[in-house]
Amino acid sequence: MFHVKHSRDVQVICRKNGFDLTEGMVEQLEQYVALLLEWNAKVNLVSRKDQENIWGGHVLHALSLMFRIRLPEEMRVIDLGSGGGLPGIPLAIVNPRWSVGLLDSIQKKCAAVQDIITRMGLAVRVEVIVGRAEEKAILDVRRGKADVVVARGVAPLAELVKWSKPYLKKPAEAGPAVEDAGGIVRVTPPVLIAYKGGDLEGEIREMRMKTGRVVASDVPIAFAEAEECGLTGKTILVVPIHRQ
């Protein structure tokens, strides 16, 4: 399998999909990958077998959210089950007015990610949160403050909806959460955005039965190099939480 091996490969693919990375963003992504791999030798932040596909299978996967989905330039985001900071850190790098909370229950991963964001100078607007999403102490100071919750391969949709709901703001106004205009999906928070893959029919049905929520938009990760990056069959689901 061909792998996207360099930041410039990612920059070219992003540009071809209508999302331009500045030189500063590319440099920060390079720094993040270097620190992630440095820490991965000591703490399992990403699968060892995925290290050679870090740019395509992880960084580009995270950034693919920006290809067809349009979100506010300024907002608060919680990344559930962030692990090594994916997708939260790449998204924070390319959205300099986002405040991002990286939530994970594994202390050693959180310590590694804290070191990464500190060394990158991101700690002013990127926060590491140690614990589980449902923990009262974590919820008490963050309830109803997030615009978007993102999650990448963490749990079934029904669980993600349950965990996300307390963190998300109530809608500021009535109206649809998603508008599809010529293939560009404009999203009005609050929403859950889930990176998913595989056959999701049963998972979506279970979510609707257990939570009453529906998928407002299913955005396949479909670009020329997706197969080579191991992203075939991957999709991004947008789920409004406080409204249909």
Predicted TM-score of the model (pTM): 0.95
Alpha helices (H) along 20-106: 23-40, 61-63, 65-68, 88-94
| Residue that has been written with the tokens 């938009």 in this structure | 217
Could you tell me the CA-to-CA distances from 161 to 21, 97, 149, 155 in Å, in that order?
A: 31, 25, 9, 10
Q: Which residues contact 147 (CB under 8 A, 6 or more apart)?
A: 72, 75, 76, 77, 168, 169, 189, 190
| Residue 3: predicted pLDDT | 57
Q: Distance between CA atoms of 123 and 72, rounded to whole angstroms?
A: 21
Contact 169, 192 (CB under 8 A): no
Q: Distance between CA atoms of 205 and 42, rounded to whole angstroms?
A: 40
Q: Which homologous superfamily is 7-164+178-240 in?
A: Vaccinia Virus protein VP39 (3.40.50.150)
Per-residue pLDDT of the chain (244 residues; tens, 9 = 90+): 445 789 999 999 999 999 999 999 999 999 999 999 999 999 999 988 889 889 999 999 999 999 999 999 999 999 999 999 999 999 999 999 999 999 999 999 999 999 999 999 999 999 999 999 999 999 999 999 999 999 998 999 999 999 999 999 998 776 778 998 888 999 999 999 999 999 999 999 999 999 999 999 999 998 888 888 889 999 999 999 975 4
